[in-house]
């Protein structure tokens, strides 16, 4: 049983252009038949191909805001390593780690709604 890459992308709601590009980069690995106008992948390899693509594609989708689908741009965010809020850096607190005050950390910030993904580690 063979499926065209575009049909698989359509059925799995994937970006067809990116999916085909990804698949065509590893035709041997996924046993893709390329001697047709529309490249086809065997049923045996569909799930592996789709799963592998999703791993790669997640790096693309991470650039889209999960809230409004706006464009996410790399930026910087304040990260409070202690988890304590409303603490002025002028206050001396016992037991505060040396990493205090909050350090700047890389993040992705939405250009539309300002939502930021702060768990992006460099
Ligand atoms: Zn947004």
Same domain, 71 and 121: yes
Same domain, 18 and 41: yes
Q: Which residues, including other chains, have CB under 8 Å from residue 68's CB and lie 6 or more apart?
A: 110, 112, 113, 115
As a whole number of angstroms, the distance between CA 13 and CA 98 comes to 47
Same domain, 30 and 79: no
Summarize pLDDT for 8-45 with one digit per residue, the tens.
999 999 999 999 999 999 999 999 999 878 899 999 99
- What pLDDT score was predicted for residue 119? 57
- The residue that leads in pLDDT, 79 or 52, is 52
**Block residue for tokens 């689908």:** 69
Q: Of all helices (H) and strands (E), which one includes residue 19?
A: helix 16-24
Summarize pLDDT for 68-122 with one digit per residue, the tens.
988 888 776 666 555 544 444 444 455 555 555 566 667 788 888 988 876 544 4
Same domain, 75 and 118: yes
> Is position 109 within any domain?
yes
Residues near ligand 1 ion, CB 5 Å cutoff: 65, 67-68, 70, 110, 112-113, 115
- What pLDDT score was predicted for residue 90? 45
What is the number of domains present in the chain? 2
Same domain, 46 and 74: no
Question: Are 106 and 120 in contact, with CB atoms under 8 Å apart?
Answer: yes
Residues spanned by the domain of 53: 2-61
CA of 60 to the centre of ligand 1 (A): 15
């Amino acid at each position: 049983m063979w499926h065209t890459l575009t049909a698989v992308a359509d059925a799995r709601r994937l970006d067809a252009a990116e999916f085909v590009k990804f698949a065509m980069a590893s035709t041997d690995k996924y046993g893709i038949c390329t001697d047709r106008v529309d490249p086809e992948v065997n049923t045996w390899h569909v799930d592996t191909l789709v799963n592998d693509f999703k791993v790669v594609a997640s790096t693309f989708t991470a650039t889209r805001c999960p809230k409004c689908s706006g464009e996410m741009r790399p930026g910087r965010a304040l990260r409070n390593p202690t988890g304590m809020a409303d603490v002025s850096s002028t206050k001396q607190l016992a037991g505060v780690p040396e990493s205090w005050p909050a350090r700047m950390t890389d993040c992705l910030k939405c250009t539309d709604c300002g939502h930021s993904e702060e768990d992006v580690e460099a």
